[in-house]
């Protein structure tokens, strides 16, 4: 796992029933998954402009809402993106898709069709806080998938449809022992208590997705949450 930034926001924004006057600082992860023949990047973190000058990057100082972004080193400063064979995006929020700007144009980007279509619909963009500046330039690189998908055709990496946080959110199962959950839950405990953020495309769908991942966790699969500072540390992921 790579730490590609930090989010600071009121605790009650990202976890139901927490205080709105208590700030929390949350890691932003990205993952490099290596097989015998492929090097796959899961999520790209934010664009440096989200930390340095959101108004310049997105055209308004309020683009990130209540969130403040910090970044010590972006994805392009931590790995050689020319060595990446493929990118999988769990979803298109700025803290997951902003680093696409540094991706070579030859690298395919795998996104759920529902997510991509929502990211080009004005009402869905507004509801889901999508920022088109982060993904407008990659249309020719996008590979659309529908629902659960065997990414490499050999069962080694499987995409799991986990909508709710956004319309086409997906998680990534690596082998039998690991799931990169994305933002199905920001915190590991969310699989049990369903204390989701105050914002979602569909809370009922998010609950069903959390239950799906909880079922996997309960049979021994390691499920990585989206932004839990107690769980997410840079370095190899044990599973």
Residue 238 confidence (pLDDT): 87
pLDDT in tens, 107-122: 999 999 999 999 999 9
Residues 164 and 203 sit within 8 Å (Cβ to Cβ): yes
pLDDT in tens, 43-95: 999 999 999 999 999 999 999 999 999 999 999 999 999 999 999 999 999 99
Contacts of 232 (CB under 8 A, 6+ apart): 1, 3, 27, 29, 224, 225
Residue 229 confidence (pLDDT): 98
Q: What is the pTM of this model?
A: 0.98
* Neighbouring C-beta atoms of residue 108, cutoff 10 Å: 16
Cα distance between residue 180 and residue 223, in whole Å: 6
User: How deeply is 81 buried, as exposed, middle or buried, from its count of CB atoms within 10 A (0-12, 13-18, 19+)?
Assistant: middle
Give the H or E element holding residue 191.
Answer: helix 190-193
Distance of CA 42 to the CA centre of its chain: 8
Q: Does domain 2-161 have CATH number 3.40.50.2300?
A: no
pLDDT in tens, 180-233: 999 999 999 999 999 999 999 999 999 999 999 999 999 999 999 999 999 999
Mean pLDDT of all residues belonging to the chain: 98
Residues 48 and 74 sit within 8 Å (Cβ to Cβ): yes
Residue 15 confidence (pLDDT): 98
Residue 53 confidence (pLDDT): 97
Length of the chain equals 239
pLDDT in tens, 157-186: 999 999 999 999 999 999 999 999 999 999
Cα distance between residue 116 and residue 97, in whole Å: 12
The first and second tokens of residue 148, run together, are 């659960």
Residue 148 confidence (pLDDT): 98
pLDDT of 156 above 90: yes
Cα distance between residue 74 and residue 98, in whole Å: 10
Contacts of 149 (CB under 8 A, 6+ apart): 158, 159
Q: What percent of the chain is modeled with pLDDT above 90?
A: 99
Residue 45 confidence (pLDDT): 98
């Amino acid at each position: 796992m790579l730490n590609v930034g930090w989010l600071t926001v009121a605790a009650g924004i990202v976890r139901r029933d927490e205080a709105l006057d208590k700030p929390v600082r949350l890691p932003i992860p990205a993952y490099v998954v290596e097989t015998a023949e492929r090097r796959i990047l899961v999520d790209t973190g934010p664009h440096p402009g989200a930390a340095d000058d959101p108004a310049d990057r997105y055209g308004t100082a309020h683009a990130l809402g209540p969130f403040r972004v910090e970044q010590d080193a972006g994805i392009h400063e931590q790995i050689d993106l020319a060595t990446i064979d493929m990118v999988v995006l769990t979803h298109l929020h700025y803290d997951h898709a902003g680093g696409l700007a540094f991706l070579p144009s030859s690298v395919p980007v795998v996104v759920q069709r529902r997510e991509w279509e929502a990211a080009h619909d004005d009402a869905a963009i507004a509801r889901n806080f999508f920022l088109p500046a982060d993904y407008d330039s990659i249309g020719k690189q996008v590979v659309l998938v529908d629902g659960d998908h065997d990414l490499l055709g050999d069962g080694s990496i499987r995409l799991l449809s986990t909508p709710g946080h956004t319309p086409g959110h997906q998680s990534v199962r690596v082998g039998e022992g690991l799931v990169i959950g994305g933002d199905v839950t920001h915190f590991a405990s969310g699989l049990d208590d369903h204390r989701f953020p105050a914002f979602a495309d569909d809370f009922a769908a998010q609950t069903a997705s959390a239950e799906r991942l909880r079922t996997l966790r309960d049979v021994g699969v390691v499920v990585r949450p989206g932004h839990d500072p107690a769980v997410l540390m840079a370095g190899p992921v044990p599973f």
